[in-house]
C-alpha cells in the first residue's frame, strides 16, 4: 500500500520521540551518578525522554508526573495482553467530508458494454492483451469460453513469472473450477455481468479460504486465514475467475517480498515499484486482464506509472477492506488495475459499496457515462507542473476535445506533516511482530524500511498524533475548496498530488502518457477527482485515452 521509497518524507522531521514512551528509557542513570534499579523510572528518565518530544518541564512538574508515569507500564502491559489482531479496526473512523452532500442516487454504474461485437483476437498474444470489455462481449456471445481464456492466462503466468516474480500463489484448481462454472452458466443463458468468466489476480494481502495469505512477508509466508475477503466475495458473485494471488512488497512497502523483487515488464532489470507490484506487472505484461491492488501512499499509482498500466485509487471508503491486511485503517484503499479506463469502470462497478464489516466503507452512487466530447468539463491543471513534451501534450488533447482548462495552485498545507498518521497506525497494526522480534525476518532492514519505522513510531507523542489528524481535516477542507469549481485536477505522474490526496481521500485515475528518453520507461498522468467523484475522473481519463494509444503499447517479453 506504501509506494516507492522516493515519496517517503525526511524521517528526521517526522519521527519524534514521546514522553508517553518513558518505559523504554528506564535504563538512564539516576541523579548524583547513583544507578537506579534497571526497571525503575526516575526523574532523570523523564528529563531525557522529554528532549525527544521537544518539551521542557521544571523540577516540580516532573515530580508531579513521576508517580503516574511509574504506573504507566502496568497499563501498557494490560493492553498488550489483550492480543489485538491486525484485522481489528480502531473505534475511530476516518470519513472525508465532501463539500457537497454524498451522492446517494443518480448513479447507474456502467449501464452498457461498448456497442458492437469485436472480432476474436487472431493470435494468443492478441488474446492475452485484450481488454475486459472485449473479452466480456466474446464470452457472453460464446465466441470464447472462460475455460479457454483461463488456461491461456495460467499458461502465461507460469511462463513469465520466473522473469517477473509477480506471483506468490497460483490458484489453478480454483480458477479452472470457477471457469467451468462460468461456462456452464453462460451456456444456460445466465450472464452475471461484464466480469463473468474473466480471469484476474488479487494482491496477496486479501484472504481467500484454503490459500495462503502471505502479505509478502517472511513471518507470514505460511499464514492461512479462514475467511474470504469482501472484495473477493464481490468478484466471485460477479463471476470473475481468480487465477493468482500476486506479489506485494513485504507488508505493503515497495516491490521486494520474501521471494525476491517483482520486475517491470518493460525493463526486467528494474523493479515494478509497489506495493501493488505483482498486480501492475502482471496486467502490463498481458498475464491477466485485470487485478486488484491497494494504496495507502502510492501503491497503485506508483507501480502503474512504472509498468505502464491503468489504475484507479478510489475515494477512501468506496471499496470494502474486509479480509485485507490492515496497514493504516484511515488511509488504506482498494482499487483495480487494468489496461484501459473502460475496464477500470467495469471492475469498480462490481466491487464498490458499503460492507458492514468495514466500518469506513460507504454507499454512494457511481456513474460512468462519458460523452462524445468534453464540452462542459472543467479541468484544473496544477500550476507550474506542465512543461513542454508529453505532459503538456495531455492538456492539448483535453483542450482539443472541448475541455475548459484552468491553472490551479495547490493548497499550501504541508501534507508531509501528516506522515505520523500512517507510521503510527502501521506500527499499531504490526505491534506484535515488533515486540516479539519477528520483524527481523523481513527482507528489508534499512533505516527507512518497516522494522525501523515501527520502532521509531513508538516514540511519537499521542498529543501530536491527534493534532496531525486535526490538521488532516484542514487539508481535506482546503482541497475541497480548491476543487469546488472543477470536475477533475490533472497532474503529471506522482508529483505534487500523490501525498496530499492519499491523506484527503480524493480519487485518482493513473494512465500512461508516453515514455522517457530511454524508450522503455513508461510515464503517467494523474486525473484527480473530487470526493466521490470517481466517475467524473474516469470519464476525463477515458476521453484522454480515446485520443491516444499509449495504453495499447505492449512490452516485449519474448
> Among positive and negative, which fits the CA dihedral 351, 356, 358, 359?
positive
Question: Has 207 been annotated as catalytic?
Answer: no
Catalytic residue check, 203: yes
Under 8 Å between Cβ of 395 and 381 = yes
Is residue 426 a contact partner of residue 457, using CB atoms and an 8 Å limit?
A: yes
Q: Which residues contact 370 (CB under 8 A, 6 or more apart)?
A: 538, 539, 542, 543
CB atoms within 10 A of CB 503: 28
Give counts: helices (H), strands (E), the chain.
Answer: 18, 15
Residue pair 253/2 in contact (Cβ under 8 Å)? The answer is yes
Q: In a 3-state reduction of DSSP, which class is residue 170?
A: strand
Known active-site residue 275: yes
Q: What is the DSSP letter of 5?
A: G
Distance from C-alpha of 264 to C-alpha of 272, rounded to nearest angstrom? 4
CA distance 548 to 534: 21
User: Which residues lie below 8 Å from residue 517, measured CB to CB, with a gap of 6+?
Assistant: none
3-class DSSP assignment, residue 241: strand
With cell 500523490, the residue in question is 498
Yes or no: say if 1 and 296 are a contact pair by the CB < 8 Å rule: yes
Segment (H or E) for 160? helix 146-164
Smallest CA-to-CA distance from 305 within 333, 270, 330, 351 is with 270
Angle at the Cα of 244 from the Cα atoms of 239 and 250, rounded to 5 degrees: 130
Q: Is residue 192 within 8 Å of residue 239, measured between CB atoms?
A: yes
What's the grid cell of residue 86? Answer: 491486525
Catalytic residue (one of 299, 302, 361, 523): 299
Radius of gyration of the chain from Cα atoms? 25
Helices (H), 225-383: 230-237, 277-284, 301-307, 341-351
Give the span between the Cα atoms of 421 and 419, in whole angstroms. Answer: 5
| 41 closest CA partner among 22, 58, 19 | 22
Angle between helices 172-187 and 132-140 (to 10 degrees): 50
Which of 276, 271, 143, 126 lies closest to 197, judged by CA? 143
- Length of the chain measured in residues: 558
Q: Which active-site residues does the annotation give?
A: 203, 275, 299
Amino acid at each position: 500500500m506504501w509506494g516507492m521509497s522516493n515519496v517517503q518524507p525526511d524521517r528526521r522531521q517526522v519521527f519524534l520521540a514521546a514522553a508517553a514512551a518513558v518505559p523504554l528509557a528506564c535504563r538512564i542513570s539516576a541523579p548524583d551518578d547513583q544507578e537506579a534499579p534497571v526497571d525503575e523510572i526516575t526523574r532523570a528518565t523523564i528529563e531525557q525522554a522529554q528532549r525527544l518530544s521537544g518539551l521542557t518541564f521544571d523540577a516540580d512538574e516532573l515530580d508531579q508526573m513521576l508517580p503516574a508515569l511509574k504506573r504507566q507500564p502496568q497499563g501498557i502491559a494490560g493492553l498488550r495482553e489483550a492480543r489485538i489482531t491486525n484485522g481489528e479496526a480502531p473505534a475511530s473512523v476516518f470519513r472525508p467530508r465532501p463539500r457537497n452532500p454524498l451522492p446517494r442516487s443518480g448513479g447507474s454504474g456502467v449501464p452498457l458494454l461498448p456497442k458492437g461485437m469485436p472480432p476474436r483476437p487472431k493470435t494468443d498474444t492478441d488474446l492475452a492483451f485484450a481488454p475486459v470489455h472485449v473479452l466480456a462481449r466474446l464470452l457472453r456471445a460464446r465466441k470464447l469460453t472462460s475455460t479457454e481464456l483461463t488456461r491461456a492466462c495460467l499458461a502465461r503466468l507460469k511462463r513469465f513469472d520466473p522473469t517477473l516474480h509477480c506471483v506468490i500463489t497460483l490458484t489453478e484448481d480454483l480458477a479452472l473450477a470457477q471457469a467451468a462454472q462460468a461456462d456452464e452458466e453462460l451456456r444456460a443463458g445466465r450472464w452475471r455481468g461484464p466480469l463473468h468468466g474473466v480471469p484476474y489476480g488479487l494482491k496477496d494481502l486479501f484472504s481467500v479460504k484454503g490459500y495462503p495469505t502471505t502479505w509478502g512477508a517472511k513471518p507470514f509466508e505460511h499464514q492461512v486465514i479462514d475467511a474470504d475477503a469482501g472484495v473477493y466475495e464481490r468478484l466471485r458473485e460477479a463471476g470473475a475467475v481468480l487465477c493468482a494471488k500476486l506479489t506485494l512488497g513485504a507488508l505493503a512497502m515497495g516491490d521486494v517480498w520474501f521471494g525476491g523483487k517483482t520486475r517491470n515488464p518493460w525493463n526486467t532489470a528494474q523493479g515494478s515499484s509497489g506495493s501493488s507490484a505483482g498486480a501492475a506487472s502482471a496486467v502490463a505484461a498481458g498475464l491477466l486482464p485485470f487485478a486488484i491492488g491497494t494504496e495507502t501512499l502510492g501503491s497503485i499509482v506508483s507501480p502503474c506509472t512504472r509498468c505502464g498500466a491503468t489504475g484507479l485509487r478510489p475515494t477512501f471508503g468506496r471499496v470494502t477492506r474486509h479480509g485485507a491486511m490492515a496497514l493504516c485503517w484511515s488511509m488504506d484503499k482498494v482499487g483495480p488495475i487494468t489496461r484501459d479506463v473502460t475496464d477500470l469502470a467495469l471492475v469498480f462497478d462490481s466491487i464498490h459499496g458499503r460492507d458492514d464489516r468495514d466500518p469506513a466503507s460507504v454507499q454512494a452512487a457511481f456513474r460512468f457515462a462519458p460523452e462524445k466530447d468534453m464540452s462542459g468539463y472543467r479541468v484544473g491543471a496544477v500550476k507550474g507542473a506542465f512543461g513542454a513534451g508529453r505532459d503538456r501534450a495531455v492538456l492539448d488533447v483535453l483542450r482539443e476535445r472541448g475541455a475548459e482548462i484552468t491553472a490551479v495552485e495547490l493548497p499550501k498545507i504541508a501534507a508531509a506533516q501528516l506522515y505520523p498518521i500512517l507510521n503510527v497506525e502501521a506500527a499499531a497494526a504490526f505491534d506484535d511482530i515488533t515486540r516479539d522480534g519477528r520483524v527481523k525476518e523481513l527482507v528489508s532492514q534499512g533505516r527507512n524500511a518497516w522494522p525501523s519505522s515501527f520502532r521509531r513510531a513508538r516514540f511519537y507523542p499521542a498529543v501530536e498524533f491527534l493534532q496531525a489528524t486535526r490538521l488532516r481535516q484542514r487539508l481535506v477542507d482546503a482541497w475541497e475548496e480548491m476543487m469546488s469549481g472543477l470536475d477533475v485536477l490533472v497532474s503529471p505522474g506522482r508529483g505534487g498530488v500523490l501525498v496530499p490526496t492519499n491523506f484527503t481521500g480524493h480519487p485518482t485515475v493513473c494512465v500512461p502518457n508516453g515514455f522517457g528518453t530511454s524508450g522503455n520507461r513508461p510515464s503517467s498522468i494523474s486525473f484527480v477527482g473530487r470526493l466521490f467523484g470517481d466517475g467524473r475522473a474516469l470519464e476525463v481519463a477515458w476521453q484522454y485515452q480515446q485520443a491516444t494509444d499509449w495504453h495499447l503499447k505492449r512490452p516485449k517479453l519474448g
